[in-house]
Chain A
Protein backbone atom coordinates (compact mmCIF):
# COMPACT_ATOMS: atom_id res chain seq x y z
CA UNK A 1 0.00 0.00 0.00
CA UNK A 2 1.40 3.45 -0.91
CA UNK A 3 1.34 6.40 1.47
CA UNK A 4 -1.45 7.92 -0.67
CA UNK A 5 -3.49 4.72 -0.19
CA UNK A 6 -2.80 4.94 3.55
CA UNK A 7 -4.07 8.52 3.66
CA UNK A 8 -7.34 7.57 1.98
CA UNK A 9 -7.78 4.50 4.21
CA UNK A 10 -7.08 6.53 7.36
CA UNK A 11 -9.52 9.23 6.23
CA UNK A 12 -12.25 6.62 5.78
CA UNK A 13 -11.38 5.07 9.15
CA UNK A 14 -11.77 8.48 10.80
CA UNK A 15 -15.05 9.01 8.96
CA UNK A 16 -16.38 5.65 10.16
CA UNK A 17 -15.24 6.34 13.71
CA UNK A 18 -16.70 9.83 14.01
CA UNK A 19 -19.83 9.29 11.89
CA UNK A 20 -19.23 12.47 9.88
CA UNK A 21 -16.42 14.86 8.96
CA UNK A 22 -16.18 18.18 7.14
CA UNK A 23 -16.06 17.20 3.47
CA UNK A 24 -13.04 19.43 2.91
CA UNK A 25 -10.88 17.26 5.17
CA UNK A 26 -11.31 14.19 2.94
CA UNK A 27 -9.64 13.21 -0.34
CA UNK A 28 -13.19 12.94 -1.61
CA UNK A 29 -12.86 11.33 -5.06
CA UNK A 30 -10.56 8.56 -3.83
CA UNK A 31 -12.60 8.03 -0.68
CA UNK A 32 -15.82 7.67 -2.71
CA UNK A 33 -14.14 5.17 -5.01
CA UNK A 34 -12.71 3.13 -2.14
CA UNK A 35 -16.02 3.15 -0.25
CA UNK A 36 -17.90 1.98 -3.36
CA UNK A 37 -15.55 -1.00 -3.71
CA UNK A 38 -16.61 -2.07 -0.21
CA UNK A 39 -20.36 -1.54 -0.64
CA UNK A 40 -20.30 1.79 1.17
CA UNK A 41 -20.98 5.33 0.07
CA UNK A 42 -19.72 8.76 1.08
CA UNK A 43 -22.82 10.97 1.22
CA UNK A 44 -22.57 14.77 1.39
CA UNK A 45 -25.05 16.74 3.48
CA UNK A 46 -25.49 20.40 4.43
CA UNK A 47 -23.66 23.12 2.54
CA UNK A 48 -26.71 25.41 2.31
CA UNK A 49 -26.91 28.84 3.92
CA UNK A 50 -23.21 28.92 4.64
CA UNK A 51 -23.27 25.71 6.69
CA UNK A 52 -20.26 23.45 6.10
CA UNK A 53 -20.71 20.45 3.83
CA UNK A 54 -20.34 17.27 5.85
CA UNK A 55 -19.39 13.82 4.62
CA UNK A 56 -21.18 10.81 6.09
CA UNK A 57 -20.27 7.15 5.56
CA UNK A 58 -23.44 5.28 4.61
CA UNK A 59 -24.29 2.05 2.84
CA UNK A 60 -24.45 1.78 -0.94
CA UNK A 61 -28.07 0.85 -1.60
CA UNK A 62 -29.83 -0.19 1.56
CA UNK A 63 -28.21 -1.03 4.89
CA UNK A 64 -27.50 -4.78 5.26
CA UNK A 65 -30.75 -6.46 6.25
CA UNK A 66 -31.05 -7.45 9.90
CA UNK A 67 -30.64 -11.16 10.49
CA UNK A 68 -32.84 -13.18 12.79
CA UNK A 69 -30.06 -15.57 13.78
CA UNK A 70 -26.54 -14.73 15.08
CA UNK A 71 -24.52 -12.81 14.16
CA UNK A 72 -26.82 -9.83 14.32
CA UNK A 73 -26.77 -7.24 11.52
CA UNK A 74 -26.34 -4.35 12.11
CA UNK A 75 -24.35 -4.39 15.29
CA UNK A 76 -24.49 -0.71 16.18
CA UNK A 77 -28.28 -0.81 16.54
CA UNK A 78 -29.67 1.83 18.87
CA UNK A 79 -30.94 0.80 22.28
CA UNK A 80 -34.72 0.50 22.68
CA UNK A 81 -34.83 3.72 24.70
CA UNK A 82 -32.76 5.56 22.11
CA UNK A 83 -35.05 4.34 19.33
CA UNK A 84 -38.13 5.60 21.21
CA UNK A 85 -36.50 8.97 21.82
CA UNK A 86 -35.38 9.21 18.20
CA UNK A 87 -38.88 8.50 16.89
CA UNK A 88 -40.37 11.20 19.15
CA UNK A 89 -37.68 13.74 18.21
CA UNK A 90 -38.08 12.94 14.51
CA UNK A 91 -41.88 13.22 14.71
CA UNK A 92 -41.51 16.66 16.34
CA UNK A 93 -39.01 17.79 13.69
CA UNK A 94 -41.02 16.46 10.75
CA UNK A 95 -44.48 17.52 11.99
CA UNK A 96 -45.94 19.42 9.00
CA UNK A 97 -48.23 21.43 11.29
CA UNK A 98 -45.41 22.69 13.48
CA UNK A 99 -42.55 23.53 11.04
CA UNK A 100 -39.74 23.24 13.55
CA UNK A 101 -36.05 23.42 12.66
CA UNK A 102 -34.95 22.03 16.01
CA UNK A 103 -36.36 20.38 19.12
CA UNK A 104 -35.64 21.15 22.76
CA UNK A 105 -35.29 18.73 25.62
CA UNK A 106 -38.51 20.13 27.14
CA UNK A 107 -40.51 19.46 23.94
CA UNK A 108 -39.29 15.88 23.72
CA UNK A 109 -40.05 15.22 27.39
CA UNK A 110 -43.50 16.84 27.05
CA UNK A 111 -44.26 14.66 24.02
CA UNK A 112 -43.19 11.50 25.87
CA UNK A 113 -45.40 12.49 28.83
CA UNK A 114 -48.37 13.17 26.53
CA UNK A 115 -47.95 9.90 24.63
CA UNK A 116 -47.23 7.57 27.53
CA UNK A 117 -48.57 9.41 30.59
CA UNK A 118 -45.17 8.72 32.11
CA UNK A 119 -42.05 10.71 32.83
CA UNK A 120 -39.17 9.94 30.43
CA UNK A 121 -36.53 12.14 32.07
CA UNK A 122 -34.36 9.35 33.44
CA UNK A 123 -33.88 7.61 30.10
CA UNK A 124 -34.58 10.24 27.42
CA UNK A 125 -32.18 12.92 28.64
CA UNK A 126 -28.99 10.77 28.43
CA UNK A 127 -30.14 9.59 25.01
CA UNK A 128 -30.72 13.16 23.77
CA UNK A 129 -27.46 14.46 25.19
CA UNK A 130 -25.20 11.51 24.42
CA UNK A 131 -26.40 8.61 22.34
CA UNK A 132 -28.20 10.33 19.46
CA UNK A 133 -25.63 13.13 18.92
CA UNK A 134 -22.85 10.53 19.14
CA UNK A 135 -24.60 8.48 16.44
CA UNK A 136 -24.85 11.62 14.27
CA UNK A 137 -28.65 11.42 14.30
CA UNK A 138 -29.13 14.73 16.12
CA UNK A 139 -26.82 17.73 16.24
CA UNK A 140 -26.79 20.50 18.87
CA UNK A 141 -28.60 23.57 17.54
CA UNK A 142 -29.61 26.71 19.48
CA UNK A 143 -31.02 25.46 22.80
CA UNK A 144 -31.85 22.00 21.43
CA UNK A 145 -31.07 19.63 18.57
CA UNK A 146 -31.54 19.68 14.79
CA UNK A 147 -31.30 16.72 12.37
CA UNK A 148 -27.73 15.41 12.51
CA UNK A 149 -25.66 14.55 9.45
CA UNK A 150 -26.48 10.84 9.65
CA UNK A 151 -30.23 11.59 9.78
CA UNK A 152 -29.84 13.90 6.78
CA UNK A 153 -28.11 11.08 4.87
CA UNK A 154 -30.73 8.40 5.63
CA UNK A 155 -31.51 6.14 2.68
CA UNK A 156 -35.04 5.93 1.28
CA UNK A 157 -36.12 2.73 3.13
CA UNK A 158 -35.05 4.28 6.46
CA UNK A 159 -36.88 7.53 5.66
CA UNK A 160 -40.03 5.56 4.84
CA UNK A 161 -39.86 3.59 8.10
CA UNK A 162 -39.36 6.78 10.13
CA UNK A 163 -42.10 8.66 8.26
CA UNK A 164 -44.49 5.78 9.00
CA UNK A 165 -43.57 5.86 12.70
CA UNK A 166 -43.97 9.66 12.81
CA UNK A 167 -47.42 9.47 11.15
CA UNK A 168 -48.55 7.08 13.88
CA UNK A 169 -47.54 9.61 16.53
CA UNK A 170 -49.20 12.52 14.71
CA UNK A 171 -52.43 10.51 14.68
CA UNK A 172 -52.24 9.82 18.43
CA UNK A 173 -55.08 11.64 20.25
CA UNK A 174 -52.70 13.50 22.55
CA UNK A 175 -50.17 14.60 19.88
CA UNK A 176 -51.99 17.90 19.26
CA UNK A 177 -50.78 18.89 22.75
CA UNK A 178 -47.23 19.07 21.39
CA UNK A 179 -48.30 21.85 19.00
CA UNK A 180 -49.45 24.20 21.75
CA UNK A 181 -47.27 27.03 22.97
Chain B
Protein backbone atom coordinates (compact mmCIF):
# COMPACT_ATOMS: atom_id res chain seq x y z
CA UNK B 1 0.00 0.00 0.00
CA UNK B 2 2.83 2.35 0.97
CA UNK B 3 4.51 1.81 -2.38
CA UNK B 4 1.24 2.46 -4.25
CA UNK B 5 0.80 5.79 -2.49
CA UNK B 6 4.38 6.70 -3.28
CA UNK B 7 3.93 5.71 -6.92
CA UNK B 8 0.75 7.78 -7.18
CA UNK B 9 2.52 10.77 -5.70
CA UNK B 10 5.44 10.34 -8.09
CA UNK B 11 3.11 10.06 -11.10
CA UNK B 12 1.16 13.18 -10.10
CA UNK B 13 4.34 15.13 -9.40
CA UNK B 14 5.74 14.23 -12.81
CA UNK B 15 2.51 15.07 -14.68
CA UNK B 16 2.24 18.46 -12.93
CA UNK B 17 5.89 19.26 -13.58
CA UNK B 18 5.63 18.25 -17.26
CA UNK B 19 2.63 20.51 -17.68
CA UNK B 20 4.42 23.47 -16.07
CA UNK B 21 8.02 23.09 -17.25
CA UNK B 22 9.51 25.23 -19.99
CA UNK B 23 12.03 22.55 -20.95
CA UNK B 24 12.57 18.78 -20.89
CA UNK B 25 12.52 16.99 -17.52
CA UNK B 26 15.42 14.57 -16.99
CA UNK B 27 14.37 11.04 -15.98
CA UNK B 28 17.02 10.97 -13.27
CA UNK B 29 15.24 13.85 -11.52
CA UNK B 30 11.74 12.37 -11.83
CA UNK B 31 11.29 8.73 -10.73
CA UNK B 32 7.98 8.38 -12.59
CA UNK B 33 9.77 9.18 -15.86
CA UNK B 34 12.65 6.78 -15.22
CA UNK B 35 10.46 3.75 -14.50
CA UNK B 36 8.69 2.18 -17.52
CA UNK B 37 5.54 1.21 -15.60
CA UNK B 38 5.14 4.60 -13.94
CA UNK B 39 5.91 6.35 -17.23
CA UNK B 40 3.00 4.44 -18.76
CA UNK B 41 0.76 5.82 -16.02
CA UNK B 42 2.05 9.35 -16.72
CA UNK B 43 1.27 8.81 -20.40
CA UNK B 44 -2.25 7.67 -19.56
CA UNK B 45 -2.94 10.67 -17.29
CA UNK B 46 -1.74 13.08 -19.98
CA UNK B 47 -3.90 11.36 -22.61
CA UNK B 48 -6.90 12.10 -20.42
CA UNK B 49 -6.21 15.82 -20.87
CA UNK B 50 -5.63 15.67 -24.64
CA UNK B 51 -1.88 15.71 -24.06
CA UNK B 52 0.93 13.24 -24.68
CA UNK B 53 4.43 12.45 -23.44
CA UNK B 54 7.15 13.44 -25.88
CA UNK B 55 10.62 11.90 -25.50
CA UNK B 56 13.53 14.22 -26.28
CA UNK B 57 16.45 12.37 -27.91
CA UNK B 58 20.17 13.11 -27.86
CA UNK B 59 21.86 14.37 -31.04
CA UNK B 60 22.61 10.84 -32.24
CA UNK B 61 18.94 10.00 -31.65
CA UNK B 62 20.03 6.91 -29.74
CA UNK B 63 19.03 7.78 -26.18
CA UNK B 64 16.24 9.66 -24.42
CA UNK B 65 17.62 12.64 -22.53
CA UNK B 66 14.35 14.03 -21.25
CA UNK B 67 10.60 14.33 -21.61
CA UNK B 68 8.18 17.11 -22.52
CA UNK B 69 4.39 17.12 -22.63
CA UNK B 70 2.57 18.31 -25.72
CA UNK B 71 -0.82 18.20 -27.40
CA UNK B 72 -2.02 14.81 -28.57
CA UNK B 73 -2.22 14.66 -32.36
CA UNK B 74 -6.05 14.60 -32.14
CA UNK B 75 -6.12 17.67 -29.88
CA UNK B 76 -3.57 19.49 -32.06
CA UNK B 77 -5.77 18.99 -35.14
CA UNK B 78 -8.87 20.07 -33.22
CA UNK B 79 -7.24 23.19 -31.73
CA UNK B 80 -5.72 24.24 -35.05
CA UNK B 81 -9.23 24.93 -36.36
CA UNK B 82 -9.53 27.76 -33.82
CA UNK B 83 -6.09 29.24 -33.01
CA UNK B 84 -7.36 30.93 -29.86
CA UNK B 85 -6.43 34.58 -29.71
CA UNK B 86 -4.11 34.43 -32.71
CA UNK B 87 -5.02 36.52 -35.73
CA UNK B 88 -4.36 35.85 -39.41
CA UNK B 89 -1.54 38.42 -39.40
CA UNK B 90 0.08 36.68 -36.41
CA UNK B 91 0.14 33.40 -38.32
CA UNK B 92 1.59 35.18 -41.37
CA UNK B 93 4.35 36.64 -39.18
CA UNK B 94 5.06 33.23 -37.67
CA UNK B 95 5.25 31.68 -41.12
CA UNK B 96 7.70 34.34 -42.34
CA UNK B 97 9.87 33.92 -39.24
CA UNK B 98 9.84 30.13 -39.57
CA UNK B 99 10.74 30.32 -43.26
CA UNK B 100 13.49 32.83 -42.51
CA UNK B 101 15.29 30.85 -39.79
CA UNK B 102 14.37 27.22 -40.47
CA UNK B 103 14.24 27.03 -44.25
CA UNK B 104 16.52 29.81 -45.51
CA UNK B 105 18.91 29.62 -42.56
CA UNK B 106 19.03 26.06 -41.26
CA UNK B 107 17.96 23.95 -44.25
CA UNK B 108 19.38 26.01 -47.15
CA UNK B 109 22.27 27.49 -45.17
CA UNK B 110 21.84 31.00 -46.56
CA UNK B 111 23.47 33.91 -44.78
CA UNK B 112 20.61 35.81 -43.21
CA UNK B 113 20.02 39.47 -42.62
CA UNK B 114 18.20 40.40 -39.38
CA UNK B 115 14.63 39.11 -39.35
CA UNK B 116 13.21 42.61 -38.70
CA UNK B 117 14.98 43.83 -41.85
CA UNK B 118 13.62 40.85 -43.76
CA UNK B 119 10.10 41.63 -42.57
CA UNK B 120 10.53 45.28 -43.60
CA UNK B 121 11.66 44.18 -47.06
CA UNK B 122 8.73 41.80 -47.58
CA UNK B 123 6.10 43.22 -49.90
CA UNK B 124 3.82 40.23 -50.42
CA UNK B 125 2.03 39.16 -53.56
CA UNK B 126 -0.01 42.38 -53.73
CA UNK B 127 3.07 44.61 -53.61
CA UNK B 128 1.90 46.14 -50.36
CA UNK B 129 4.02 46.14 -47.24
CA UNK B 130 3.70 43.19 -44.93
CA UNK B 131 2.48 43.69 -41.37
CA UNK B 132 4.03 46.90 -40.06
CA UNK B 133 4.14 49.24 -37.08
CA UNK B 134 1.84 48.73 -34.12
CA UNK B 135 0.11 45.75 -35.73
CA UNK B 136 3.44 43.96 -36.12
CA UNK B 137 4.53 44.79 -32.57
CA UNK B 138 1.28 43.43 -31.14
CA UNK B 139 1.43 40.33 -33.33
CA UNK B 140 4.99 39.56 -32.27
CA UNK B 141 3.97 40.06 -28.61
CA UNK B 142 1.14 37.54 -29.01
CA UNK B 143 3.52 35.00 -30.59
CA UNK B 144 6.06 35.55 -27.78
CA UNK B 145 3.38 35.12 -25.11
CA UNK B 146 2.70 31.66 -26.56
CA UNK B 147 6.43 30.86 -26.78
CA UNK B 148 6.08 30.45 -30.53
CA UNK B 149 8.96 32.89 -31.01
CA UNK B 150 11.74 34.11 -28.74
CA UNK B 151 12.45 37.70 -27.67
CA UNK B 152 14.87 38.01 -30.61
CA UNK B 153 12.19 36.76 -33.06
CA UNK B 154 13.53 33.24 -33.62
CA UNK B 155 11.37 30.10 -33.61
CA UNK B 156 10.42 29.57 -29.96
CA UNK B 157 10.43 26.64 -27.54
CA UNK B 158 6.80 25.76 -28.32
CA UNK B 159 7.97 24.49 -31.73
CA UNK B 160 10.21 21.96 -29.96
CA UNK B 161 7.05 20.32 -28.66
CA UNK B 162 5.94 19.06 -32.06
CA UNK B 163 5.59 15.30 -32.43
CA UNK B 164 6.95 13.69 -35.59
CA UNK B 165 3.48 13.63 -37.17
CA UNK B 166 2.86 17.28 -36.21
CA UNK B 167 6.23 18.26 -37.74
CA UNK B 168 5.34 16.34 -40.91
CA UNK B 169 2.04 18.26 -41.05
CA UNK B 170 3.95 21.56 -40.71
CA UNK B 171 6.44 20.57 -43.44
CA UNK B 172 3.56 19.62 -45.72
CA UNK B 173 1.91 23.00 -45.05
CA UNK B 174 5.10 24.70 -46.18
CA UNK B 175 5.03 22.72 -49.45
CA UNK B 176 1.38 23.70 -49.96
CA UNK B 177 2.27 27.33 -49.27
CA UNK B 178 5.45 27.61 -51.31
CA UNK B 179 4.83 25.14 -54.16
CA UNK B 180 1.03 24.78 -54.46
CA UNK B 181 1.24 23.56 -58.06
CA UNK B 182 3.93 20.93 -57.47
CA UNK B 183 2.92 17.25 -57.79
CA UNK B 184 4.03 16.75 -54.21
CA UNK B 185 1.48 19.37 -53.09
CA UNK B 186 -1.23 17.56 -55.04
CA UNK B 187 -0.26 14.28 -53.33
CA UNK B 188 -0.50 15.98 -49.93
CA UNK B 189 -3.95 17.38 -50.72
CA UNK B 190 -5.17 13.96 -51.91
CA UNK B 191 -3.80 12.16 -48.87
CA UNK B 192 -5.39 14.69 -46.50
CA UNK B 193 -8.70 14.45 -48.31
CA UNK B 194 -8.60 10.64 -48.09
CA UNK B 195 -7.76 10.86 -44.38
CA UNK B 196 -10.66 13.26 -43.71
CA UNK B 197 -13.08 10.94 -45.54
CA UNK B 198 -11.72 8.08 -43.43
CA UNK B 199 -12.42 10.04 -40.25
CA UNK B 200 -15.96 10.86 -41.33
CA UNK B 201 -16.74 7.22 -42.26
Bound-state Cα–Cα, A106 to B12, Å: 44
Chain B nearest Cβ from A60, distance in angstroms: 8
Report B-chain residues with C-beta under 8 Å of the C-beta of A129: 138
Chain B nearest Cβ from A18, distance in angstroms: 5
Tell whether B63 is near chain A: CB-to-CB under 8 Å. no
Q: Can you name the residue of chain B whose Cβ is closest to the Cβ of A122?
A: B137
Choice from B13, B17, B145 contacting A134 with Cβ under 8 Å: B145
Establish whether residues A13 and B16, one from each chain, have CB atoms under 8 Å apart when the complex forms. no
Establish whether residues A13 and B78, one from each chain, have CB atoms under 8 Å apart when the complex forms. yes
Establish whether residues B48 and A72, one from each chain, have CB atoms under 8 Å apart when the complex forms. no
Establish whether residues A71 and B79, one from each chain, have CB atoms under 8 Å apart when the complex forms. no
A34 and B20 contact, Cβ closer than 8 Å, known pairs A71-B25, A130-B138, A130-B142: no
Chain B nearest Cβ from A28, distance in angstroms: 15
Establish whether residues A37 and B48, one from each chain, have CB atoms under 8 Å apart when the complex forms. yes
Establish whether residues B23 and A70, one from each chain, have CB atoms under 8 Å apart when the complex forms. yes
Q: Can you name the residue of chain B whose Cβ is closest to the Cβ of A65?
A: B20
| Residue interface bits B12-50, CB-to-A below 8 A is 1, else 0 | 110111011111110000000000000000000111111
Kindly count the residue-residue contacts between A and B in the assembled complex, taking CB atoms under 8 Å apart.
Answer: 101
Q: Can you name the residue of chain A whose Cβ is closest to the Cβ of B76?
A: A13
How many residues of B sit at the interface, in one of the four size bands? 20 to 34
Bound-state Cα–Cα, A141 to B45, Å: 37
Tell whether B100 is near chain A: CB-to-CB under 8 Å. no
A13 and B79 contact, Cβ closer than 8 Å, known pairs A34-B49, A134-B142: yes
Report B-chain residues with C-beta under 8 Å of the C-beta of A180: none
User: Mostly helix, strand, loop or mixed at chain A's interface?
Assistant: helix
Q: Can you name the residue of chain A whose Cβ is closest to the Cβ of B66?
A: A71
Bound-state Cα–Cα, A17 to B49, Å: 11
Name the interface residues of A67-99: CB closer than 8 Å to any CB of B: 70-76, 79
Establish whether residues B23 and A131, one from each chain, have CB atoms under 8 Å apart when the complex forms. no
User: Mostly helix, strand, loop or mixed at chain B's interface?
Assistant: helix
Establish whether residues A17 and B147, one from each chain, have CB atoms under 8 Å apart when the complex forms. no
Tell whether A8 is near chain B: CB-to-CB under 8 Å. yes
Establish whether residues A12 and B49, one from each chain, have CB atoms under 8 Å apart when the complex forms. yes
Report A-chain residues with C-beta under 8 Å of the C-beta of B48: 5, 8-9, 12, 34, 37-38
Choice from A14, A39, A74, A126 contacting B141 with Cβ under 8 Å: A126
Establish whether residues B145 and A39, one from each chain, have CB atoms under 8 Å apart when the complex forms. no
Report B-chain residues with C-beta under 8 Å of the C-beta of A72: 21-23
Q: Can you name the residue of chain B whose Cβ is closest to the Cβ of A82?
A: B145
Establish whether residues B16 and A39, one from each chain, have CB atoms under 8 Å apart when the complex forms. yes
Report A-chain residues with C-beta under 8 Å of the C-beta of B51: 13
Report B-chain residues with C-beta under 8 Å of the C-beta of A10: 50, 74-75, 78
A13 and B50 contact, Cβ closer than 8 Å, known pairs A72-B21, A134-B85: yes
A9 and B49 contact, Cβ closer than 8 Å, known pairs A38-B19, A73-B21, A74-B20: yes
Name the interface residues of B132-172: CB closer than 8 Å to any CB of A: 137-138, 141-142, 145, 147, 157
Q: Can you name the residue of chain B whose Cβ is closest to the Cβ of A66?
A: B20
User: Which B residues form the contact surface with A (CB < 8 A)?
Assistant: 12-13, 15-17, 19-25, 45-51, 71-72, 74-75, 78-79, 84-85, 137-138, 141-142, 145, 147, 157
CB-CB nearest 10 A-B residue pairs? A13-B50, A75-B22, A71-B23, A13-B75, A71-B21, A74-B20, A9-B50, A39-B16, A34-B48, A64-B20
